[in-house]
Amino acid sequence: MWQGRFQERPAESLSKFGQSVSFDWRLYRQDIAGSIAHARGLLRAGILSEEEFAAIEKGLKGIEADISDGKLRFLEELEDVHMNIEAELTRRIGEAGAKLHTARSRNDQVATDVRMYLRMEGGRIVREISELQRVFVGLAKKYHRVLIPGYTHLQRAQPVPVAHHFLAYCEMLERDKERLADALKRIRLCPLGSGAIAGSTIVLDREAIAAELGFDGVSQNSMDAVADRDFVCEFLSVFAILGMHLSRISEDAILWCSAEFGFLRLSDAYTTGSSLMPQKRNPDVAELVRGKSGRLVGNLVSLLVMTKGLPLTYNRDLQEDKEPLFDSLDTVSSCLRIFAEMFATAEIDVAAARAAAADPVLLATDLADYLVQRGVPFRRAHEMVGRMVARAEQLGVRLSDLPAEEIERIAPLAVKGFGEVFDLDRAMRVRTAPGAPSPERIAERIAWWEQRLQGS
């Protein structure tokens, strides 16, 4: 933009440095939809004639089709997607195209476009999260009777159904969907009509324009409307948390694929080999997802740092919101899609899981609970079981094989039901509290998730 006030063209280096069309071209559909709605507002206000509006609408739809077909080349010297589309429109239809920018600014234009774009992309991300959840529910259903050790501090803690583990991922991802849905609520007001900072002396029907574009209403402060990037920060925050969850799932998968755990086998299609060691099957997908989560955190921090020192209202710094946003959208989407593919073909090594879960020390807490049910205070029961565990280690036997005289010496009340405590099936059956992993509770939750995810 150099005509009018400026007597010289901008330096070529400035044009290249300042252009954003190399990445904001993604907004072309939203920009064209917003321009058509704005043109209709100008028509209602008497700024455009019917013929002019018809030419603008037809011209913009033609431009949209050409962009979609790859027939229109964006020019960096026109800076951004908005000026590229407007210049091409004026080239095609003449003077009527030059009237389109009446009563609006690129400031309110881009604020509108990005909200509309996020509305579309946010819905897609929700669907991709749901698809990954369906994969985990399928795994839970397939392996609902398989037990593995659950871990705290990465030490074996208590036995849990592997289904309970997969359904825990569904809970994490559901919160991500809820956060995304909540963020989508705050982009339902349309900034278009706010102008550069203080609206316009040409008053358009903003409510009608907003309704045409699918918004619930209009923004109420023109300064805030063009300066606000809270919503982008919020989406990046949601994506960073989602990435953190995917990274934690990755870590489980990486551990479970190792020979030390051996619970999970990934398809050859989603593992890689080594350039040196022919025996290797590396869980590269999970490692890449774990690594890419750092980009999501970095994109959020980048935008927070960039916006924290900006005065009202619009500053060119805000152009820097789009690359982190687009990168996070692409990263999250690619991670969700490939995870759904990878886990859909994954298998649990049932024998390895069963062998690991059969370690009787995993039921030490159940033994303490057994003593509590016979009147022993929990802290005292905890100490007794700890002594039994230590004694079994000293004797080189499994806890369940501790000699009766040793049990009698440490905890006489445990002698009668000692063997019963180490029955894994019984141990799972009695865990019936809401949220606990009894077979009945697992079945209920699988059914709940299948209903929840139906059609999502």
Name the residues annotated as catalytic. 153, 274
Decide the pairing of beta strands 347-348 and 264-265.
antiparallel
Q: What are the CA-CA distances from residue 392 to residues 366, 376, 395 (Å)? A: 17, 21, 5
Q: Alpha carbon 22 to chain centroid distance?
A: 25
**CB 234, CB 183: distance < 8 Å:** yes
Compute φ and ψ for 161, nearest 5 degrees.
-65, 140
Q: Please, are residues 301 and 328 in contact by the beta-carbon 8 Å criterion?
A: no
Give the dihedral sign, CA 431/435/438/444: positive
- Select from 196, 188, 183, 141 the least CA-distant residue to 163: 141
Q: Classify the C-alpha dihedral 431-369-161-176 as positive or negative.
A: positive
Instruction: Give CA–CA dist 213/2, Å, rounded.
Output: 31
The amino acid at 409: R
Both structure tokens of 105? 């600014």
3-state helix, strand, coil in the chain (%, to 5): 65, 5, 30
**Residues near 313 by beta carbon (within 8 Å), at least 6 away in sequence:** 107, 196, 197, 223, 224, 226, 227
Give which of 11, 118, 17, 87 is closest to 320, Cα–Cα. Answer: 17
Residue 222 per-residue DSSP state: H
Burial code (b: 16+ CB inside 10 Å, e: under 16) for 105-122 equals bbbbbbbbbbbbbbbebb
Q: Which ranges of 143-229 would DSSP assign to H, the alpha helix?
A: 162-185, 206-212, 222-227
